[in-house]
Amino acid sequence: MTEMRRVTAIRNGTVIDHIPSGYALQVIKMLRMDVKRSTPVSLVMNVPSDKIGRKDVLKIEDRELNQEELDRLALIAPEASIAIIRNHVVSGKMKVELSGELYNIASCSFSNCITKADREPLPQRMKIVNENPLEIRCYYCGKRQTLEELIENII
């Protein structure tokens, strides 16, 4: 690696690499790391990348992402690569994968959707209709959801 290291290596935790440039903050929001966290998160933005031109990188200390969190990540950063770090060593690599459905990840943005009614107990569900270009619709009402709306409506 010829490039100078911009933030220090972490001892334990997760490194999310190849986030599209400018989207690191949304990833933090999507993973709900913007509230109630006491462990450090390092953020690097707009660094050159052979793979995607420019990229953002996140280093999250003392936390290993689970599959459900990876599913959330897939929405914003389908190209991201994830490394789990244990005792300074990469102990596992993971790829994000966009599955056919988002289950209880974001609520529907459409004001007249049945899921907007008070106290209705069924889960929020979104269908991935198309991956490229990304098209997501509410499973119940069928309304298209933009990425911005989904991030805004994270549960």
Partner 1 sequence: MGDLVTMDDLSDDEITQILDEAERLVPVAEGRVSLPLLEGKVLANMFFENSTRTRMSFETAMKRLGGEVLNFSSVGTSVSKGETLYDTMQMIDGYADVAAIRHPKQGAAQYSADSVNIPILNAGDGSGNHPTQTMLDLFTIRQAQDKIENLRVILVGDLRYGRTVHSLSHALTRFGSSLVLVSPPSLRMPSEIVTDLRNSGCEILETENFKEQLVSADVIYMTRIQKERFPDDDEYSKVAGIYKLTSSDLTNVKENLIVMHPLPRVDEIDSSVDKTKHSRYFQQAFNGVPTRMALLCRSLGVSVPKKVK
Site residues, partner 1 (CB under 8 A)? 108, 110, 112-122, 135, 137-144
Q: Which is nearer to partner 1, 25 or 128 (CB)?
A: 128
Burial class (CB in 10 A: 0-12, 13-18, 19+), 120: exposed
CB of 120 to partner 1, least distance (A): 5
42 CB neighbour count, 10 Å cutoff = 15
The 8-class DSSP code of residue 74 comes to H
Query: CB-wise, 47 or 122, nearer to partner 1?
Result: 122
Q: 64: left (phi > 0), else alpha (psi -120 to 50), else beta?
A: beta
Nearest distance in Å: CB 142, partner 1: 6
Residue 81 or 153: the one with the smaller Cβ distance to partner 1 is: 153
SS3 117: coil
26 and 72 in contact (C-beta within 8 Å)?
A: no
Beta carbon of residue 154, minimum distance to partner 1 (angstroms, whole number): 20
Min separation Cβ 46 and partner 1, Å: 32
Of 108, 106, 98, nearest to 75 by C-alpha is 98
Give whichever of 47 and 129 is closer to partner 1, judged by the CB atom.
129
Closer residue to partner 1 in complex, CB, 3/118? 118
CA 22, CA 55: separation in Å to the nearest integer?
Answer: 7
CB of 119 to partner 1, least distance (A): 5
Tokens read off for 90: 């990469």
